């Protein structure tokens, strides 16, 4: 078998592509989540998003209030963790199907939120799952209903 050596041109092209920050086609969409270092439900949500194909980076922080304020999350919509996805904010236990819809539609909003910690939302397993709302919010903090999620976790 012949010994195949990369050419200088091939190596330089690969280095240029690697340094460009370009993601190969089909690469997972990056998602960065800021959470309390000891929060189990936040880790459960991150796992849900990874299982849906997102490239999740978890960033434990001591002061989530500062992250939420910087992201413009309205107080009434706050939950336990704050994530950033391609210029949007995801607050709390937003299901992957809502994040995927957000990226398909690209509405002129700041982000999505699932206020509180509804049982049955991603990362919040428990008996008697409940239906809950995924709220959109603008940069000015104005909320609106984005979608309803049934108790079985499906859009309703």
Residues 6+ away with beta carbon under 8 Å from 74: 113, 137, 141, 143
Task: Quote the pLDDT of residue 8.
Answer: 38
Residue 13 domain-assigned (yes or no): no
Task: Quote the pLDDT of residue 156.
Answer: 85
Task: Quote the pLDDT of residue 111.
Answer: 98
Task: Quote the pLDDT of residue 27.
Answer: 78
Residue 156 domain-assigned (yes or no): no
Task: Quote the pLDDT of residue 26.
Answer: 63
CA–CA separation, 127 and 100 (whole Å): 27
Count other Cβ atoms within 10 Å, centred on residue 75: 10
Q: Which range of residues forms the domain containing residue 74? A: 28-149
Q: What is the mean pLDDT of each run of 10 residues along the chain (156 residues)?
A: 37 34 64 94 96 97 95 96 98 98 98 96 94 97 97 90
Residue 93 domain-assigned (yes or no): yes
Sole residue written with tokens 């904010």: 89
Residue 10 domain-assigned (yes or no): no
Residue 14 domain-assigned (yes or no): no
Q: How far is CA 72 from CA 16, 35, 132, 143, 147, in A?
A: 36, 16, 22, 12, 20
Domain at 100, CATH number: 3.40.30
State the total domains in the chain. 1
């Amino acid at each position: 078998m012949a010994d195949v050596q990369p050419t200088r041109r091939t190596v330089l092209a690969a280095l240029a592509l690697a340094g460009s920050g370009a993601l190969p086609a089909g690469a997972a969409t990056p998602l960065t989540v800021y959470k309390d270092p000891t929060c189990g439900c936040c880790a459960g949500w991150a796992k849900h998003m990874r299982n849906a194909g997102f490239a999740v980076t978890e960033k434990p922080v001591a002061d989530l209030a500062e992250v939420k304020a910087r992201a413009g999350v309205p107080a009434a919509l706050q939950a336990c963790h704050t994530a950033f996805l391609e210029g949007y904010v995801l607050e709390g236990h937003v299901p992957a199907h809502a994040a995927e819809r957000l990226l398909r539609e690209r509405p002129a909003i700041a982000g999505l939120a699932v206020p509180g910690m509804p049982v049955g939302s991603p990362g919040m397993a428990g008996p008697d799952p409940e239906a809950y709302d995924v709220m959109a919010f603008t940069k000015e903090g104005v909320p609106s209903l984005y979608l309803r999620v049934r108790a079985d976790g499906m859009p309703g």
